[in-house]
Structure 1
Amino acid sequence: MNASPHSATGAAGRVPPADSAPLPPPRFAFGAATWKEILFLLLNLPMGIIGFVYVVTTLSLGAGLTVTVVGLPLLAFGLVGCRLVGSAERALARSLLGVRVETPRPLRPSTFGFMQWLWVALKDPVAWRSALYLFIRLPWGIFTFSVTLTSLFVAWPVLPFLARGLSSVDRALVRGLLQPSDELERRIAELESDRGVVVDTAAADLRRIERDLHDGAQARLVALAMDLGLAREKLLEDPEAAAKMVDEAHGEVKIALQELRDLARGIHPAILTDRGLDAALSSVATRCTVPVEVTVDLPARPAEAIEGIAYFTVSELLQNVSKHSRASRAWVEVWRSADRLMIQVRDDGRGGADVSAGSGLAGLTERLDSVDGLFVVDSPAGGPTLVTAELPWRDRAPAAGGARQNAR
């Protein structure tokens, strides 16, 4: 008699058929980030040994020989090496742990000379902190290597959580000891990066001006010179044809002059130089396809560079209003708040402006960042759009006669 399923299994449940395969053991998911953390923890020991030996050998030897002429130079070169090893450690942490810290600015003595370089290298806080990082990494590396290697064969299920916890300590060490010295140094590194953006922007503007001159006014003037030459040849034999050609050349001259005026306005409009932001922005507003209300409330004119950036920022934003916003009205407000020049441009259009879309807004963001400015876009889908820009206020340099030019 066949036994019933209940009598054969009892409280333990149903017995699987004889021909069924056993269930596989449970699997634990290891993502790419976990494997990178495990690799970093295993590399802690060999990298820690290398760094520890280097620090102890070079710094102790240099410190021990300070009574001789080679002691301080040897100590300085050892610290420079610590800085270089710290750069390699930052790159390793960035690739395996995803830690991104600012790169400290390079050693730059204020004057040339070996003694000046020696003094700067000896008091370099980045190098000393890198040396401390390399020194303490060996005992920490011994611990993490042992725990991680053992967990690979003993505590496999909890290894992802263990790796995350141990690597968090490594992330804290990298951020604490291998980043720039302080907020000032981080700010200097940011400004040096922004300087590259300024140089690239200026080079692009020069290429644009050269292209506009070559393809526009220059080509038109060359054609004009040829037409006038032909008119001169026909002047005696066919005065009417010559007069017609001169008349056409006169029209070409007007067009060429207008192109040159537009180009000059794109570089730096004369009205901005002569009359300031109020008049210049009012002129820009008249070229917008929608009515624009301009309000400029400034006690004086800012520095020329700040004034120019403010002008081109508003000009670019009003062009976007004309091209993309589908607005019926727009407003421009400019005022000074403490040591900042504030700009707001808003419209009642459809919204959806996005700085991250790689449009002209991204270029404006980079341009303002280069002078320690701020650019914020609030443009939900359906509108309205509000763009706020801040620039540092710098007083305008006195005019040649010593008088300060005030805003109209």
Structure 2
Amino acid sequence: MGGVNEELTAWVGRGLAASVRSFVIGLVFFVCGIALLVLSIVSISFIPLFGLGILLTPLVVVGVRALAGERRKLAGQWSGVEIPTPYRSRPPMEPFGLVGAWQRCRWMLGDPATWRDLLWLLSSPLTLALGILPAGLVGYGVEGILVMPAVLQFVDGYHYGPGWLIDIPFEGFVAIPQGVLILALGLAVAPALLRLHDVLTKQLLGPTRQAMLDQRVRVLTRTRAETVDAQAAELRRIERDLHDGAQARLVSLGMSLGLAEDLVTRDPVAAQKLLAEARDASDRALSELRDLVRGIHPPVLAERGLDGAVRALALTLPIPVEVDIELGGRPQAPVESAGYFAVAEALANVVKHSHATRAWVLVRHDGRSLGMTVSDNGVGGADPAGGTGLRGMERRLAAFDGTVAVSSPPGGPTVVTVELPCELSSPKTLPSSGTG
């Protein structure tokens, strides 16, 4: 019985919340929408008439976009209908003056999304109707249940709905079951109407298919350029490390061996000392080459996959790192490498900046994307805009449509979450989890 009551209470709560939200959307966005629509028409008409529209139109369009942005946000929060922002990127333009105002005006009015926003404002009466309908049904039902019997005690007659004059108590109490039915209908349809409203809104405020394709092309162009720049920088780093490190040691090794060859018959003791130095130089050169190879693609990553590589990395850190990895297979090699270096960069930041005494790594695959979370108990305050590590991570992962989210309030904890769309192959028999 308790479970039924809980389900009924939850159902009523969802219906009431949806009806209130619909009413707020209908009333607020109708009033604001009509006002902005009038201002938009006036400001645009002033462009050829007085020229004032060049200054006014961008300001009004900013207001329209702010209202549309709030509507998109509410659609996602209240109905789960995600509406991406469709506007074109701002081109370079003058910051001040009439030239800058004209450039802003031309950019905004040249964006098809601006005109779709205005069309959405034009549909404000529909917004009002869809918003008031569920709230009206709920209010009408509540009136029949609660208000009507009380009103009949004080007045001779009461108009309940269109054309129904109730002037005797019996008719008032007959309205109670009708009110129950209408209230139930309002609570039942309110969530569906709210979602329908949000879906219809998405058709106007969301990007068109062509806009999505154009945006995708721009993103791919940007990420390709960033990837090329990152690869060029990586090649320069490898060249510098080889030139300053292993190459210099190998040159020194060759010179030492040449001198030892000359001294081997005349001064065997000195020759032996040079050979010992040469052996040390060769060991250091080999170690530097191994470090360089690990920086390009760690052998343990190729041999043991992301699971083994992250665990091996955790063992090398000066603080305890708890590693929990559960994967049904292996991502493709480029994605696996990108994921490994993202975890490595996040852990490096933990050691360098967080003053943490403990860190955690969680890796999961949900069937569509690889999710990796690195957290610590440090002091917090990490800012992607304040350093090159997290920004570099974002640029590298953008080439794979990956995302990086950082939560690091002052005082901690810091949580870095990485999402990489990918599929897995070579499923394993058993998942693994534990401590590194």
Equivalence for 1:272: 301
Equivalence for 1:195: 224
Equivalence for 2:328: 299
Question: What is the rounded CA distance, in whole Å, between the counterparts of 1:228 and 1:216 in structure 2?
Answer: 18
Equivalence for 1:245: 274
Equivalence for 1:330: 359
Quick check: 1:306–1:394 contact (8 Å CA) kept in 2?
A: no
Question: What is the rounded CA distance, in whole Å, between the counterparts of 1:246 and 1:44 in structure 2?
Answer: 91
Equivalence for 1:236: 265
**Gapped regions of structure 2 (runs ≥ 5):** 1-42, 52-87, 117-203
Quick check: 2:382–2:408 contact (8 Å CA) kept in 1?
A: yes
Question: What is the rounded CA distance, in whole Å, between the counterparts of 2:106 and 2:424 in structure 1?
Answer: 37
Shift of residue 189 of structure 1? 1.7
Question: What is the rounded CA distance, in whole Å, between the counterparts of 2:246 and 2:358 in structure 1?
Answer: 35
Question: What is the rounded CA distance, in whole Å, between the counterparts of 1:100 and 1:194 in structure 2?
Answer: 28
The answer to whether the aligner puts 1:385 opposite 2:414 as a matched pair is yes
Quick check: 1:372–1:392 contact (8 Å CA) kept in 2?
A: yes
Q: Give aligned-pair identity as a percent.
A: 43
Question: What is the rounded CA distance, in whole Å, between the counterparts of 2:242 and 2:257 in structure 1?
Answer: 21
Equivalence for 1:185: 214
Which residue of 373, 376, 389 corresponds with 1:360? Answer: 389
What TM-score, normalized to structure 2? 0.53
**Gapped regions of structure 1 (runs ≥ 5):** 1-37, 47-86, 105-125, 134-174, 397-403
Which residue of 309, 312, 330 corresponds with 2:341? Answer: 312
Equivalence for 2:248: 219
Which residue of 393, 396, 404 corresponds with 1:375? Answer: 404
Shift of residue 390 of structure 1? 0.3
Equivalence for 1:258: 287
**Taking structure 1 as reference, are residues 392 and 216 closer, same or farther at Cα in structure 2, changes over 3 Å only?**
same
Shift of residue 395 of structure 1? 3.8
Which structure features the higher share of helix residues? Answer: 2
**Taking structure 1 as reference, are residues 45 and 225 closer, same or farther at Cα in structure 2, changes over 3 Å only?**
farther
Provide the secondary structure at the position in 2 that maps to 1:344. Answer: strand
Aligned CA RMSD, in angstroms, stands at 3.7
Q: How many residues get paired?
A: 257
Question: What is the rounded CA distance, in whole Å, between the counterparts of 2:248 and 2:105 in structure 1?
Answer: 54
The runs of 4+ residues in structure 1 deviating greater than 2 Å are 40-46, 89-102, 178-182, 404-408
Provide the secondary structure at the position in 1 that maps to 2:412. Answer: coil
1:4-403 alignment, distance < 5 Å:
95-96=100-101, 98=104, 181-396=210-425
Provide the secondary structure at the position in 1 that maps to 2:329. Answer: coil
Shift of residue 289 of structure 1? 1.7
Question: What is the rounded CA distance, in whole Å, between the counterparts of 2:394 and 2:221 in structure 1?
Answer: 16
Question: What is the rounded CA distance, in whole Å, between the counterparts of 1:370 and 1:276 in structure 2?
Answer: 21
Amino acid at match of 2:265: L
**Taking structure 1 as reference, are residues 232 and 187 closer, same or farther at Cα in structure 2, changes over 3 Å only?**
same
Shift of residue 93 of structure 1? 9.8
Amino acid at match of 1:243: Q
Shift of residue 43 of structure 1? 7.5
Amino acid at match of 2:379: R
Measured against aligned partners, the alpha-carbon deviations of 1:119-143 in whole angstroms (never above 9, x if no partner) come to xxxxxxx9xx79x99xxxxxxxxxx
Shift of residue 283 of structure 1? 1.2
**Taking structure 1 as reference, are residues 218 and 90 closer, same or farther at Cα in structure 2, changes over 3 Å only?**
closer
